[in-house]
Amino acid sequence: MTDAQLLHAYRIMERSILLDQAVLRLIEEGSARLLLHSGRGQEAIGTGVCAALRDDDMLFYSHRGLIQLLAKGMQAGPLLGDFLGRVDGATKGLGAGIVHAVDPALGLMGSSGTLGGGFVLSAGAALGARKLGDDRVSVHIFGEGSANRGTFHEAANAAALWKLPMVWLCENNGLSVSVAHREATSIEDVADRAAAYGMPSRIVDGQDVEAVYDAMADAVARARAGDGPTLIEAKTLRFRGHYEGDPQTYRSKEDIAAAHQRDPLRITAEKLAARGIGEAQLAALRDEEARAMEVAVQAALASAKPGPDRIYQGLLAESAAA
């Protein structure tokens, strides 16, 4: 990655952490009733993936997808509006703890509420791009737990068979909600499954943004050239519970402490320091982001709540004007 790309990744990581903190504060203050699925610990993946994409490449983001939305270019304001259920939210007040933001102009295609539901959609989006004769790439980020859905296999088979322009990126944090990877999956590496479909795969350190970016850049180039899909497995770590408030009884304190030893934010800061971008510059960036987040929080709080008609809007094309 260039210095500018790496610094941007750091900025987005910082923004994502600030967004998590802002949302937690809103929950504590009683302003928001919601579930937050924090992506803390997995920031290098969304930032590494999106650094390798064009604006018009299509991203189906994962359950812990806030970082991915920010990295693809969505502003924090509409996401805060969504968390608060305000009309200026990304879904115009429909609101959600698990975000369902889209922005076709930024290639943000949405996220399946049923885990694993996105595999076939992302393959279909790649198929759609092919049929329209353009060179967009479709990317799907998913957790290792959802790779046990049949949809994974149906989509992987078709994507490889048809050489669809897509990249699968598995965020393997070792936990599907409370269930450990080894208790739910017959193999250690999800990447091994790619061979069964005649698809190349890579395993990367998901805490290292450059490792994710390098693998992703190769896979995107391959997809765009018409050579078909790639499965990348990023080994990563979930710092927090499945949702905020999760007591994490299924996990030892040592395990959680060990996870924090490999913080992608710090690893990125160290990389930047080695390139001569020091703490003073990062501190200035953090201040700037913190101020911007505060402005976004206040703007979201000032935004109106939707009227009762909102629940009937957007069902069909003619009812979409929300």
Partner 1 sequence: MSGFKTLSYRAALREALIEELERDPSVFVMGQDAGPFGGVFGVTKGLTEMFGVERVFDTPISEALIVGGGVGAALAGARPVVELQYADFALIAMDEIVNKAAKWRFMHGGGQSVPLVIRAPEGVVGGLGPEHSQSLAQYFWSSFGLKVAMPATPADAKGMLKSAIRDDDPVLFLENKSLYNRRGPVPEGEHLVPLGVASTWRAGSDVTVVAWSRMATVAAKAAEVLAGQGVECEIIDPRGISPFDLDAILASVERTGRLAVVHEGPVTGGLGGELITQVVERRFSALKAAPIRIAGADTYVPQNQDLEGLLTPDADAVTAALATLVQSSR
Binding of partner 1 at residue 224 (CB under 8 A)? no
Nearest approach in angstroms of CB 184 to partner 1 is 20
* 280/320 with CB nearer partner 1: 320
Q: Which of residues 34-73 bind partner 1 (CB under 8 A)?
A: 58
Nearest approach in angstroms of CB 87 to partner 1 is 11
Contact residue for partner 1 among 158, 170, 203, 231 (CB under 8 A)? 158
Binding of partner 1 at residue 209 (CB under 8 A)? no
Nearest approach in angstroms of CB 118 to partner 1 is 9
* First and final C-alpha spacing in the chain: 40
Nearest approach in angstroms of CB 282 to partner 1 is 34
Binding of partner 1 at residue 316 (CB under 8 A)? yes
Per-residue 3-state assignment (H helix, E strand, C coil) for the chain: CCHHHHHHHHHHHHHHHHHHHHHHHHHHHCCCCCCCCCCCCCHHHHHHHHHCCCCCCEEECCCCCHHHHHHHCCCHHHHHHHHHCCCCCCCCCCCCCCCCCCEHHHCEEECCCCCCCHHHHHHHHHHHHHHHCCCCCEEEEEEHHHHHCHHHHHHHHHHHHCCCCEEEEEEECCEECCEEHHHHCCCCCHHHHHHHCCCCEEEEECCCHHHHHHHHHHHHHHHHCCCCCEEEEEECCCCCCCCCCCCCCCCCHHHHHHHHCCCHHHHHHHHHHHCCCCHHHHHHHHHHHHHHHHHHHHHHHHCCCCCHHHHHCCCCHHHCCC
Nearest approach in angstroms of CB 11 to partner 1 is 26
Binding of partner 1 at residue 157 (CB under 8 A)? yes
Amino acid at 181: H
* 35/127 with CB nearer partner 1: 127
Binding of partner 1 at residue 196 (CB under 8 A)? no
Binding of partner 1 at residue 191 (CB under 8 A)? no
Binding of partner 1 at residue 317 (CB under 8 A)? yes
Q: Which of residues 82-141 bind partner 1 (CB under 8 A)?
A: 89-92, 94, 96, 100-104, 109-110, 112-114, 117, 119-129, 131-132, 136, 138
Per rule CB under 8 A, count of chain residues that contact partner 1? 49
Residues that bind partner 1 (CB under 8 A): 58, 89-92, 94, 96, 100-104, 109-110, 112-114, 117, 119-129, 131-132, 136, 138, 150-151, 154-155, 157-158, 161, 313-317, 319-322
